Amino acid sequence: MAEEVKLMKGNEAIAHAAIRCGCDGYFGYPITPQSEVMETLMAQKPWETTGMVVLQAESETSSINMVYGGAACGKKVMTSSSSPGVSLMQEGVSYIACAELPCLIVNVMRGGPGLGTIQPSQGDYFQTTKGGGHGDYRLITLSPSTVQEMADFVGLGFDLAFKYQTPSVLLADGVIGQMMEKIVLPDFKPRRTDEEVRKECPWGTMGKNGRKDRNVVTSLALESEVMQETNNRLQAKYKAIEENEVRFEEHNCEDAEYVFVAFGSVARICESAMEILRAEGHKVGVLRPITLWPFPTKEIQRLTKQVKGFMDVELNCGQMVEDVRLAVNGQVPVGFYGRQGGIIPTAEEIAEAFKAQMVK
């Protein structure tokens, strides 16, 4: 069968990928610049085909708690929102992480803080990779840089979430959400039957159904020792994720003297900046973290032995650059160039910023 190539927005790709990967339920609340996710789902009416539930909630608070309810059944459930809406979800995200439930949370970032702007941003790196809600937890964070990856990371996000029983976040900047590109949609995968769900998630709460013991999903542990045990179990899981799930992409890093570190749409502009700089004789490469957590710390440490410096570029005031600096640990200079308010830097601006900061 010939590949089915479509032209669509990143947000639309997420909706189609969700239906195709056997998602059981989507719960969301409209917010720019990600509203096309729910709009596409509602137009597709998957409840008539795959049986997927799609529900517009009264708030993001409600959406994420619907996700909690569905995930605690063992179902494959997701939500999507943009920055201010994701802030509103943080209580629920912390509960889901503590209760060790799998789910997918899509954040198509816009500029903040506050109501901010509806224009693209990468300002939620801290919120997503460092916690966001209360308590000690981490979120698997996938950062797409193409519309194709928007679709591909829906399935991957769910796979990782179920593998580790923890929430995955698809953290896209508004550029990728709104941009149209050619894409090959993933193949259809049927939704699991309830029997399959019970087998895969024996802890799920869909009713005892003949089970001897009742299942209880909770994030409450009033006894100190039990809570500490919960914390230890979570940390062990996070360590395993850090060891096994780091993903990144490199361009021209083999002979690089300088390496751009950038994620999402900006990584693509950095590739163009790299070409400009290479043409001028600067040996520049690009490292694009695909998982923002777990962060490719070891790869940056490996490159630190080879390069004269790193240049971090982000659509914010400097967030991921802190993780780059932690990895580099002062051994080589780390420059930073950021734009805010939805302003997307050109490749030329990035190249100029690189030369001004790194080439003395």
Q: Tell me the closest approach of the beta carbon of residue 77 to other proteins, in angstroms.
A: 7
Q: Tell me the closest approach of the beta carbon of residue 179 to other proteins, in angstroms.
A: 31
HSE-CB of 55 using CA atoms within 13 angstroms = 18
Q: Tell me the closest approach of the beta carbon of residue 219 to other proteins, in angstroms.
A: 7
Q: Under the criterion CB under 8 A, does residue 50 sit at the interface with other proteins?
A: no
Nearest Cα residue to 34 out of 90, 83, 104: 83
Sequence-separated (6 or more) residues with CB below 8 Å from residue 236 = none
Q: Tell me the closest approach of the beta carbon of residue 27 to other proteins, in angstroms.
A: 6
> Do 288 and 145 touch, CB atoms closer than 8 A?
yes
CA–CA separation, 146 and 129 (whole Å): 21
Residue from 39, 181, 194, 275 in contact with other proteins (CB under 8 A) = 194
Q: Tell me the closest approach of the beta carbon of residue 153 to other proteins, in angstroms.
A: 23
Q: Under the criterion CB under 8 A, does residue 221 sit at the interface with other proteins?
A: no
Phi and psi torsions of 97, nearest 5°: -65, -45
> Do 290 and 249 touch, CB atoms closer than 8 A?
yes
> Do 314 and 320 touch, CB atoms closer than 8 A?
yes
Q: Under the criterion CB under 8 A, does residue 154 sit at the interface with other proteins?
A: no
The interface region with other proteins, picked from 19-27, 236-244, 336-344, 348-356 by CB under 8 A, is: 19-27
Instruction: Find the binding residues for other proteins in span 72-111 (CB under 8 A).
Output: 72-73, 75, 77, 91-92, 95
CA–CA separation, 319 and 122 (whole Å): 9
Nearer to other proteins by Cβ, of 207 and 341: the residue is: 207
Q: Under the criterion CB under 8 A, does residue 25 sit at the interface with other proteins?
A: yes
Instruction: Find the binding residues for other proteins in span 201-220 (CB under 8 A).
Output: 205-210, 214-220
Nearest Cα residue to 169 out of 269, 282, 81: 81
Nearer to other proteins by Cβ, of 122 and 166: the residue is: 166
Residue from 30, 39, 42, 57 in contact with other proteins (CB under 8 A) = 57
Q: Tell me the closest approach of the beta carbon of residue 216 to other proteins, in angstroms.
A: 5
Q: Tell me the closest approach of the beta carbon of residue 177 to other proteins, in angstroms.
A: 25
> Do 252 and 286 touch, CB atoms closer than 8 A?
yes
Binding-residue total with other proteins (CB under 8 A): 38
Q: Under the criterion CB under 8 A, does residue 231 sit at the interface with other proteins?
A: no
Encode 57-88: b = buried (16+ Cβ within 10 Å), e = exposed: beebbbbbbbbbbbbbbbbbbbbbbbbbbbbb
Nearer to other proteins by Cβ, of 214 and 360: the residue is: 214
Torsion sign (Cα): 341, 290, 181, 6: negative
- In the complex, the residues that contact other proteins under the rule CB under 8 A are 24-25, 27, 53, 55, 57-59, 61-63, 65-70, 72-73, 75, 77, 91-92, 95, 194, 205-210, 214-220
